[in-house]
Amino acid sequence: MIDTIVIATDGSESVGRAVDVALDLAGKFDAAVHALYVVDAGEVDSSPDAVREDMRHALQERGGEAIVGVQKRTDRDVTAVVREGRPANEIAEYAREIGADLVATGTRGRHGENRFLIGSVAERVVRTCPTPVLTVRQLEDEGFEGVEAA
């Protein structure tokens, strides 16, 4: 039984299908939905001191937009969460904290074009998360048809 789903989003177009699949599953199982965006502390820390706080603010703002993007795709209540840290670690930790039954993520995010096969964050989440992880690939020419209940 799936009671709680965490949708890990970075706001990229490639995560859209993962959001749709996760929301469809949430509807079929009447599961609670948590949309999680992680401000990558590495990006913030590697920025010049003079713009570090502006970078943090911009990434938090992007996170809010990513969460709103999830909320707009459904009429279900979505718990919105923006955290800061190492994305894979924060996703796994958040899933553990709330007792999630499933984490859903895309396979390529904002940096996905530079990755081979599966994004580095998605790969680390799959390897380290104590919760089952559903990775959903963005298909170029196919629309989302939904998930059939078993």
Residue 20 contacts residue 138 (beta carbons within 8 Å):
no
Let me know if residue 40 belongs to a domain: yes
How many domains are there within the chain? 1
How high is the pLDDT of residue 137? 84
Beta bridge partners of 40: 85
Let me know if residue 18 belongs to a domain: yes
Let me know if residue 145 belongs to a domain: no
How high is the pLDDT of residue 47? 84
Q: Which two tokens stand for residue 41?
A: 């502390």
Q: Which residues are CB-contacts of 69 (< 8 A; sequence separation ≥ 6)?
A: 9, 11, 19
pLDDT tens across the length of the chain (150 residues): 899 999 999 988 878 999 999 999 999 999 999 999 999 988 888 888 888 899 899 999 999 999 999 999 999 999 999 999 999 999 999 999 999 999 999 986 544 444 444 458 889 999 999 999 999 987 665 444 555 544
Let me know if residue 142 belongs to a domain: no
How high is the pLDDT of residue 113? 44
How high is the pLDDT of residue 45? 82
The CATH number assigned to the domain holding 51 equals 3.40.50.12370
Let me know if residue 147 belongs to a domain: no
Residues spanned by the domain of 103 = 4-136
